[in-house]
Amino acid sequence: MSNKILSIDNLSKKYRGNEKYSVKDLSFEVNEGELYAFLGPNGAGKSTTIKCIVGALPYSEGNISVCGYNLHDNPVAAKKNIGYVPDNHFLYEGMTANEYIDFMADIYGVGVNDRNARRKKYLELFSLEDSQDKLLSSFSHGMKQKVCVIGALIHNPKLWILDEPLTGLDPMSAYNLKELMREHCKEGNSVFFSSHIIEVVEKLCDKVAIIDKGRLLVSGSMEEIRAKDDDNSLEDFFISVTQKESDAQKVASLGIDEESGKDFID
């Protein structure tokens, strides 16, 4: 049996009315047990890619498979293996935290014993026990983010996807979330997340993909990334490769041929 949890093959996405692709010919894999980071500047295509993976955006070119299920051919089976924490922590604010957790558990068919055990664990971890029966509309940004995390984990998904998950969390909650991500991978699952906090990625992750202007620039293990630029941090490497991509785009836009543009880029 393959240990591929997520497989993306030549994914391309163009928004209606736009001439340019937001994501173009993107390919990479996330394997079982991997904690995989997705890096890129603002507007690079990270959120578009994630929304395509979870089925929130349609795509017409390429393929996405989750646990062997093609998202086009078998979307329900693919999505059953995904837990998603979006960057805007969308919630039904007329529900209490407990009602929302039960709602998510019902969607994924989680039994009463499993849901209650996980509910208790995560509410205690994020210090939400005293707020579980309060309306989500009364929650702070950080509290809503924590409820989103619980809702995404209630069915113990094989693939946990998070879009900028540390934004708005207090230091203890951020620490607990990072520990949960490690724990999830140790249990044979996978985590795929976008972040702008490169220091966290460098300490936390097994693998990294860097995207800019919708195209994959680099992907590989942290060891492979370090081998490319052993003297510098991941932050320095990230700035270097995205700057080269930006310079290459400038060369192309000026109509300079590739050989003449080398000095410009270097």
User: Which domains does the chain show, CATH number per domain?
Assistant: 4-81+157-227 (3.40.50.300)
Tokens of 37: 């980071």
Longest Cα pair distance anywhere in the chain, in angstroms? 66
- Mean per-residue pLDDT for 113-122? 98
Q: What is the pLDDT of residue 149?
A: 97
Pairing of strands 190-194, 159-163: parallel
Average pLDDT of the chain, as a whole number? 89
Q: Yes or no: say if 220 and 207 are a contact pair by the CB < 8 Å rule.
A: yes
Tokens of 189: 């699952």
Give CA–CA dist 13/47, Å, rounded. 12
Torsion sign, CA atoms 47, 53, 54, 55: positive
pLDDT of residue 247 exceeding 60, the answer is: no
Q: What is the pLDDT of residue 228?
A: 75
- Mean per-residue pLDDT for 184-208? 94
What percentage of residues in the chain have a pLDDT greater than 90?
Answer: 75
pLDDT of residue 55 exceeding 90, the answer is: yes
For residue 80, which of 111, 108, 119 has the smallest C-alpha distance? 108
Lowest mean pLDDT among 15-19, 93-97, 147-151: 15-19
What percentage of residues in the chain have a pLDDT greater than 70?
Answer: 90
pLDDT of residue 257 exceeding 50, the answer is: no
39, amino acid identity: L
Give CA–CA dist 219/209, Å, rounded. 4
Q: What is the pLDDT of residue 256?
A: 40
Lowest mean pLDDT among 103-107, 115-119, 147-151, 202-206: 202-206
Contacts for 10-19 with beta carbons within 8 Å, 24 or more apart? Answer: 10/61, 10/62, 10/63, 11/49, 11/52, 11/59, 11/61, 11/62, 11/63, 11/64, 12/59, 12/60, 12/61, 12/62, 13/45, 13/48, 13/49, 13/52, 13/57, 13/59, 13/60, 13/61, 13/214
Give CA–CA dist 202/231, Å, rounded. 14
DSSP label at residue 96: B
Q: What is the pLDDT of residue 258?
A: 42
pTM: 0.88
